[in-house]
Amino acid sequence: MPDYESLWSGLGIDLKPHTELLEALLPLYQEVYLSQKNRPRGMEYFDFVVGEIHGLRVQELNDFRRQGGKVVGTFCIYVPEELVLAAGGVYVGLCAGVEVGTAQVEAVLPRNICPLIKSFMGFKLARLCPYFESCDLLVGETTCDGKKKTFEILADYAPVHVMEVPQKKEAPDQELWLAEIKKLVARLEELTGKKVTYESLRKAIWQLNAKRRALRRLAELRRADPPPISGLDALLIFQIAFYDDVERFTEKVNALCDELEERIHQGVGVVPPGTPRLLVTGTPMAIPNWKLPHLAETSGAVIVAEELCTGYRYFQNLTEEEGGSLEELLVNVARRHLAPHCACFTPNGGRLEDIERLIQEYRVDGVISYILSFCDPYAVEHYQVEKFLKAQGVPVLKAETDYSMQDAGQLKTRIEAFVEML
Ligand code: BJ8
């Protein structure tokens, strides 16, 4: 990697622990990713992006900022990316998947809180994330209680705008959500000094839909038996989707899909045909959280679909592109961004329907219900998921875990036993 030290120190990064963090990440990547057999050639680009994880993209963001551009950090798929683009900004997803800055975090948050929240706060408080430090505004949301209250604390450290996400999807909730969308537009316009216009929003919707279509294409190619790409590689692409340049990323995913189509045509897969096929459902897996897919795919199974925010929930819905006015386009954006089925909503039967559809379309043999420790919405909703799957005769394994590797051995034994009986 080129020398980015002056870039990082300019952003106020604590260089010594930051170097240690990067030095720990690369061997992990080697072990989890580069040791996989028969990967598609098109993964080279995504390997390069990880090799440059705090380098090239951060440089691009800061070049953009030097020219007057604004960068907006987000934490949830309910926050519409197209609004940031339409206001002339660039967005980055800041959810994080590694234990960092624990001492600093535990000084302000309870110990027993979701590891995803601890991780993004750890990156901020320990000054270890150049993406965080490149943001001119952070957009939080009132999804789970942990995040909602953490954004109040985060506001002591950076400018934060919080969107009120309703907990139901009925007419008054839709109205509230449209008002929240408009408030975000006003805040973004104030930040960038640029108006969100009919043309700029239409263009942004097209760009984002092209990205979602490419990801859908990638996902659908995994219906093949054998699948042409591993669940681990697919997850990596979904994780990178949150911060890479939209057009470049879309082009690279489509190029990879061309290769995967050719592989399917030739009967080439990453596992032998008939390998047990898994669906993972539950809490998001933010980069570099690759623990569960690594354990599953080294236990004789292959993951073919993810009912996760780092998966299906992120790209399943397109924003309606037709609209005769800016107001109509904003309504389309609001409608699309209330569509995913996060466990923060009640009731959340749509999630069960999505799970059922994925099981059928991807010929799934078993489901892993993945829950980050202390995530109440998904931990409690597991009851509905398990009841629903049992009624359908689909085997389900509950995997409640965090970012440490302490339970990896035990989890692997449970996954192996689960895969054996599929
Ligand atoms: S739409 S899943 S990205 S809220 S894992 S912080 S819910 S305690 S990340 Fe999420 Fe939006 Fe929902 Fe998706 Fe809270 Fe649970 Fe932690 Fe979570």
Residue 19 pLDDT greater than 70, yes or no: yes
Residues whose CB is less than 8 angstroms from the CB of residue 163 and which lie 6 or more positions away in sequence, other chains included:
78, 79, 139, 140, 141, 142, 180, 183, 184
Q: What is the pLDDT of residues 351-364, one digit of tens each?
A: 999 999 999 999 99
* pLDDT in the model for residue 225: 98
For the Cβ of 379 lying below 6 angstroms from any atom of ligand 1, the answer is no
Interface confidence, given as ipTM, is 0.96
101, 121 in Cβ contact below 8 A? yes
Rounded to the nearest whole angstrom, what is the distance from the C-alpha of residue 360 to the centroid of ligand 1? 26
298-325 average pLDDT score: 98
For the Cβ of 222 lying below 6 angstroms from any atom of ligand 1, the answer is no
Residue 3 pLDDT greater than 90, yes or no: no
Q: What is the pLDDT of residues 50-83, one digit of tens each?
A: 999 999 999 999 999 999 999 999 999 999 999 9
Residue 231 pLDDT greater than 90, yes or no: yes
On average, the pLDDT of the chain sits at 97
Measured by CA distance, the residue closest to atom 12 of ligand 1 is 342
Q: What is the pLDDT of residues 266-291, one digit of tens each?
A: 999 999 999 999 999 999 999 999 99
* pLDDT in the model for residue 129: 98
What DSSP string runs through 197-236? Answer: -HHHHHHHHHHHHHHHHHHHHHHHHTTSSS-SS-HHHHHH
Distance (Å, rounded) from C-alpha 331 to C-alpha 343?
23
Residues whose CB is less than 8 angstroms from the CB of residue 316 and which lie 6 or more positions away in sequence, other chains included:
216, 339, 340, 354
* Residue 412 pLDDT grade (very low, low, confident, very high; cuts 50, 70, 90): very high
Q: What is the pLDDT of residues 93-134, one digit of tens each?
A: 999 999 999 999 999 999 999 999 999 999 999 999 999 999
Measured by CA distance, the residue closest to atom 15 of ligand 1 is 375
Quick check: helix, strand or coil at residue 324? Answer: coil
Rounded to the nearest whole angstrom, what is the distance from the C-alpha of residue 339 to the centroid of ligand 1? 15
Residue 233 pLDDT greater than 70, yes or no: yes
Residue 40 pLDDT greater than 80, yes or no: yes
pTM of the model: 0.98
Residue 1 pLDDT greater than 90, yes or no: no
End-to-end Cα spacing for the chain: 43
Distance (Å, rounded) from C-alpha 234 to C-alpha 305?
9
